[in-house]
Structure 1
Amino acid sequence: MSFIVTNSKKQASYRYMNHQSDQYYINKILAGDINAFSTLVERYQSLVYTIAYRITKNKEEAEEIAQDTFVKAYTSLPNYRGEAKFSTWLYTIVYRRSLDIVKSKKRSITSEQVEEISEEHIEIVHDALSYLQEKERKEIIGNCILKLAEDEATIITLYYFEEKNIKEIKEIIGLTEDNIKIKLFRSRKKLYSILKYYVLPEINSTNGRAI
């Protein structure tokens, strides 16, 4: 029901329009056409950076991780067997690399404490967001996702922005499908609870009533 899904469909449609499949370029690379890799970088660099940034919460680290991810993907490409989508395989690399950086910096995986939000208020927040300009809406949503824990931010990003299904997300982050479903449900509610303060300041934070 989230407009995030609607936006991601448009983005996905644009991204793949008039493009050959990932496997087409992978075959060219493995055949010796190293320039073909730039097409895959172009195709996925935005989401790779976004995942890294939403995990590390640091732009410089995210840029370095994104570069490392593509270097790792290129050197490991001969080992890619196509059992998972290339994007799933790539996001697994960036997810693990990002967590390694967080752990190496001894930063804990935490998120803000947020109030419970009802489905009724989620609908109200959703409607309020729909009135915002797309650029402003995306900026607000992005900033609020940064307030989630690393695994929550990743699941939200993969599910709503990249339209990965539960099975694919399981392959990327290594949790069970049941755990991912639970985290997705809770993370969505957390996100809307945070969004509430940006788009509905008239909602009383104590009792959730409009004042």
Structure 2
Amino acid sequence: MPANILQLAIAGDRNALNHLLEKHRDLAFSVALKYINNTADAEDIIQNAFIKVFLNIGKFRHEAAFSTWLYKIIYFEAIRFMSKQQRIRTIEEEVKDQAPVEENANVFPNERGLALKNAMICLSANEYLVMNLFYLLEKEITEIREITGQSAANIKVLLHRGRKKVADYISNNEVIRKDL
């Protein structure tokens, strides 16, 4: 991302800020959806996070990448939403959560990516977030630590478990193996 777009956004240029947010929207939605498992609620989380970015972009201090700052806001918005929603779930909700989650196809544009996306349904929300940040966004462990607040050791454990779960899922599903 050109530094001048970020500088323009910080200076108050709404078009530059919209460009930055749109660039990260698909993956941000995917991450929120994995935590919440409801499209409308995930959209609300993204909207709330983007509003916070809009209101606070002038406070961005360049201590981390813009994407790190953004994903940290999304992560905490998802956590905040989940804590507000703590209640006893019905059997129908539990069953619905076991079904594969539809995600934006732009996150995984090719067939191999779609097979991987299908394999990633077996991951917990934290594993999913860490795997996306590490492999899709190519974030360093230190950046992931800043976003999630988890220790480097815990992030490495989540990556290890996530890779193992995806590999096990792929090896147990003939359809996906054909795609890869």
- Pick the TM interval, shorter chain: 0.7 to 0.9
Partner SS state of residue 146, structure 1: helix
| Equivalent residue number for residue 118 of structure 2 | 143
- Structure 1 position 182 matched with structure 2 position 157: yes
Structure 1 residues 160 and 35: alpha-carbon distance in aligned structure 2, compared to 1, 3 A threshold: same
The one-letter amino acid paired with 1:61 is: D
* Contact persistence 1:56–1:102 (CA under 8 A): yes
Taking only the aligned residue pairs, the percentage that are identical comes to 32
What is the aligned counterpart of 1:89 among 61, 66, 69? 69
> More helix per residue: 1 or 2?
2
Higher gyration radius (CA)? 1
Q: Which runs of 5+ in 2 are unaligned?
A: 89-97, 99-108
**What pairs with 1:67-82 in structure 2 (closer than 5 Å)?**
67-82=47-62
Q: Does 1:63 align with 2:38?
A: no
Letter of the 1:54 counterpart: K
Quote the Cα distance in structure 2 between the aligned partners of 1:47 and 1:200. 25
Distance in 2 between residues matched to 1:37 and 1:95, nearest whole Å: 19
Using CA pairs under 8 Å that are at least 6 residues apart, name the structure with larger relative contact order, 1 or 2. Answer: 1
- Partner of 1:45 in structure 2? 25
Contact 1:57 1:146 in 2 (8 A): no
Give the gaps of 5 or more residues in structure 1: 1-15, 113-133, 203-211
TM-score by length of 1: 0.67
For each residue in 1:36-83, what CA deviation from the matched residue of structure 2 results, as whole angstroms up to 9, or x when unmatched?
211112211111111111222222222221122111111111221010
Question: Contact 2:115–2:176 at 8 Å: present in 1 too?
Answer: no
Summarize deviations over 1:146-170 as a string: whole Å, max 9, x none. 3211111111111111111111111
Letter in structure 2 aligned against 1:176:
S
Give the superposition deviation at 1:196.
2.2
Equivalent pair of 2:11/2:58 in contact (CA under 8 Å): no
The answer to whether the aligner puts 1:105 opposite 2:82 as a matched pair is no
Q: TM-score, normalised by structure 2?
A: 0.78
Contact 1:53 1:62 (C-alpha < 8 Å) held by counterparts: yes
Match of 1:6 in 2: none
Distance in 1 between the 2:131 and 2:71 partners? 14
Match of 1:168 in 2: 143
Letter of the structure 1 residue corresponding to residue 127 of structure 2: E
Instruction: Identify the range of structure 1 (171-180 vs 29-38) with the bigger mean alpha-carbon deviation.
Output: 29-38
CA 1:152/1:107 → structure 2, altered by over 3 Å: closer, same or farther? farther
RMSD: 2.5
